[in-house]
A and B are shown apart, each in its own frame.
Chain A
Amino acid sequence: MGTYFREIYKVSKSIVTGMGITWRYFVNAKKRIVTIQYPHEKAKIPSRHRGTHFLETEKCILCYQCSNACPVDCIYIEGSRDGTVSGSHQGKGASLTRFSIDYGLCIYCNLCCEPCPTECIHMGQQFNLVSTRRDEMMNNLLTDKVYNEADHKFVVGKRAEIDHLAEEKKRIKAEKAKAAAAAKKAAAAKKAAEEAAAGDKPEAKEAGAAKPAAKAEKPAAPAKPAAEAKPAAKPKTDSAPKAEGAAKPAPAKPKADPAPKPDVKAEEGAKPAAPKAPPAKPAPEEKKEADKPVTESKESAKPGDDKKKEDDKGSSSGPSEEEKKS
């Protein structure tokens, strides 16, 4: 009997306690409510939030590092570094006809922002990415709008111009390279002649064995080739002043040159740089290309193209749709 009443007392007490708690919550509701009326108010988003990207176009140098880093290949870049494409957005020494991201694929990993040498691409605050159609997920970062039909027409229309610019540049380069090669040959021939001359001299020395004379001549002998080498180098610089001069101080330019061009040329063009293509290539290769420019660049471009096609088939319907369109 005692437990019976005790139990009733305990239950009543706990009920009263619980009701007191809810009552306090009810009365103080106005102060405590945590709800944010979302479409009308917006929560404060942390500054490192990874929302949709935004691009500082004027900083972009069209290096394709972001699209290379992208694990899902959702960044599509087109443009030219060979000259100004009319009607395009101007980056830093580059004109961009397209910089779009497919948010249907993007995983917001931030890997595109990390390698950017000019820090022009950032993750933004925007998180509401609802769209009713799949192609609305493609965002044009140059205009911060959906990558629409008109944009695509513009991009496709500009491909010929980009190709033209690329070919133009290639042609100029080939000419320069030829000139450089000729100059080198000339230099090499001169050198050989000199060496032959120099080679003759020591023999003469040994043969003659006139020590003082040799001593007197020795300082002169090294000096001579050096003096002659200089003139030999000079014709080089004279005939191909930019080929050599540009190659050494600014490795970035020639690096990017050979590969992106053929890539853009490739029919679909949606996929920017072939991943294996040159950006990371060191200077020595560049020199090779300078030696035999036309063939080398073609060879390097072809495997890239094949790979691209495979990627497109494998990845998603996005690029393939574009292929159909184009």
Chain B
Amino acid sequence: MPETTTGALIYQILELLPFLKELPEFLHIPMLMFVTGLIPVTVISLVGLVGVYMERKVSAFMQIRLGPMEYGPWGTLQTLADGIKLMGKEDIIPREADKPLFILAPIAAFVGVFLLFIAIPFDRDIIVVDLNVGIFYLAAVASIEVVGIIMAGWASNNKWSLLGAMREAAQVVAYEIPVGICLVTVVIVSGSFSMVDIVEEQKGLFLNWFIFRNPVMWVVFIAFIIASLAELKRAPFDLPEAESELVSGFHTEYSGMRFSIFFIAEYGAMFVASALIAILFLGGYYTGIPFLDNIDGILGILIRVGALFGKAFAFLFLQMWIRWTLPRIRLDQMFYLCYKVLVPFGFVAMIITAFWQMVLPGDGFMSLGWAPGLGK
């Protein structure tokens, strides 16, 4: 496995960007931070743009509408136009709000999402840092966004915002348990916390994907999708921003650019969750067809990155599909689903997986006997 440490990464980038070497030495690290930071920011923004457009179109088609049609062909530039409009809006801070927190909250939420991108492998080498505790890192950093949201709810000095933020806190804390169980199950199968290792384990035919590893993996897969929906506060778990009850939850008082930062962060987090589902269960950046995965050079990189993005957007679509199908569930139903359904199911699946790994370590159960390690 490639040993990518922070130091090694710095040297790699230094080689990629020779003009950095000409700068004085004390500027190397800040410049590197800037350059490397720019990539996730760009990706998040682009994903936000595409995601919002997709959401609008998907919702429109499911409701026999057309959706945005005015700007660009089929309204493709609508999101961009909205972004420009939001930037031009007045910056409103409520008089009774806690100003520093109010300003900091969207940044904190965005930083949470931004940090998630660090551990997402888009290809074997296209990853900011391949941490040897990648999954742990993701599980930990995913909660930072919640901190931002609770800050927003508290700082707004608005009961709707505060209620939304409290619900968010309760929901995320509750759903971290099933998410953790799912992650642990994946770790049991892969034998590593590193994201790249997890994907590399699934190399080869698509039957090597973790979802096919043992007969209960699909339960974990579905549990993870549901739990990630709840973590993302997407419908049907959008209690924190329940429009019919809480106006719009924690971002009731936010407008203009601050609001759009929350929005972009939400879509960034959606993308990360979708990418995580792909990485943990569906072979990550591998297409599942061995000869496509073994292509070298820039074409291979494009195929692999494309595969990850394709899978991620498929799950993004699934999230939207669910959102425009299911009504919002009640608070008690939400907790029932978490503590009484997902947690026990996850536990049982985890224990079965552990035993399965003990008895039948190796490749997918479906390829058992006839295609072990095919294409590796």
Contacts and interface: CB of A to CB of B under 8 A. Distances in A.
Contact of B321 (A4, A23, A33, A37): A23
A22 B325 contact: yes
B293 to A, nearest CB: 30
A25 B324 CA distance: 11
Contacts of A21: 325
A98 B341 CA distance: 78
Interface string B335-357: 00000110000000000000000
Contacts of B324: 22
B374 interface: no
A23 B325 CA distance: 9
Contacts of B341: 8
A84 to B, nearest CB: 52
A29 B74 CA distance: 14
A29 B326 contact: no
B221 to A, nearest CB: 14
B71 interface: no
Given A8-B341, A26-B58, A35 B322 contact: no
B252 to A, nearest CB: 29
A33 B325 contact: no
Interface string A1-20: 00010001000000100110
Interface in A125-173: none
Nearest to B58: A26
Nearest to A15: B326
A8 B326 CA distance: 15
Nearest to A31: B64
Given A19-B325, A22-B325, A33 B65 contact: yes
A230 B66 CA distance: 85
Contact of B64 (A4, A33, A37): A33
A18 B65 contact: no
A32 B58 CA distance: 14
A34 interface: yes
B325 A18 contact: yes
Nearest to B341: A8
Contact of A25 (B63, B69, B322, B326): B63
Given A22-B321, A26-B58, A26-B321, A34 B326 contact: no
Contacts of A32: 64
Question: Could you say which of A4, A18, A22, A32 has the most chain B C-beta atoms within 10 Å of its C-beta?
Answer: A22
Given A8-B341, A18-B326, A26-B321, A37 B62 contact: no
B263 to A, nearest CB: 23
A138 to B, nearest CB: 32
A157 B167 CA distance: 73
B61 A26 contact: yes
A85 B66 CA distance: 55
Interface in A21-47: 21-23, 25-26, 29, 32-35, 37
Nearest to B57: A29
B64 A25 contact: yes
A24 B325 CA distance: 12
Nearest to A27: B61
B76 to A, nearest CB: 16
Nearest to A14: B326
Contacts of B322: 19
B203 to A, nearest CB: 32
A18 B235 CA distance: 14
Nearest to A36: B66
A25 B66 contact: no
A34 B340 CA distance: 43
A34 B325 contact: no
Contacts of A15: 325-326
A104 B63 CA distance: 36
A33 B66 contact: yes
A111 to B, nearest CB: 38
Given A19-B321, A22-B321, A29-B61, A37 B66 contact: yes
Contacts of B60: 29
A25 B57 CA distance: 13
A26 B66 contact: no
B62 A22 contact: yes
Contacts of B63: 25
A33 B61 CA distance: 7
Contacts of B58: 26
A27 to B, nearest CB: 9
Question: Could you say which of B58, B62, B324 has the most chain A C-beta atoms within 10 Å of its C-beta?
Answer: B62
A25 B321 contact: no
Contacts of A22: 62, 321, 324-325
A37 B66 CA distance: 9
A35 B65 contact: yes
Nearest to B70: A37
Contacts of A29: 60-62, 64
A35 B325 CA distance: 20
Contacts of B65: 33-35
Interface in B302-317: none
Contacts of A23: 321
Contacts of B325: 15, 18-19, 21-22
Interface in B281-331: 321-322, 324-326
Contacts of A18: 325-326
Contacts of B69: 37
Interface in B29-69: 58, 60-66, 69
A21 B64 CA distance: 12
B57 to A, nearest CB: 9
Contacts of B321: 19, 22-23, 26
A37 B68 CA distance: 10
A161 B341 CA distance: 91
Given A21-B325, A22-B62, 8 more contacts: A15-B326, A22-B321, A25-B62, A26-B321, A29-B60, A33-B65, A34-B64, A37-B66
18 contacts: A15-B325, A15-B326, A19-B321, A22-B324, A22-B325, A25-B62, A25-B63, A25-B64, A26-B58, A26-B61, A29-B60, A29-B61, A29-B62, A29-B64, A33-B61, A34-B65, A35-B65, A35-B66
**4 shortest interchain CB distances as A-B pairs:** A29-B61, A35-B66, A22-B325, A18-B325
Interface of A: 4, 8, 15, 18-19, 21-23, 25-26, 29, 32-35, 37
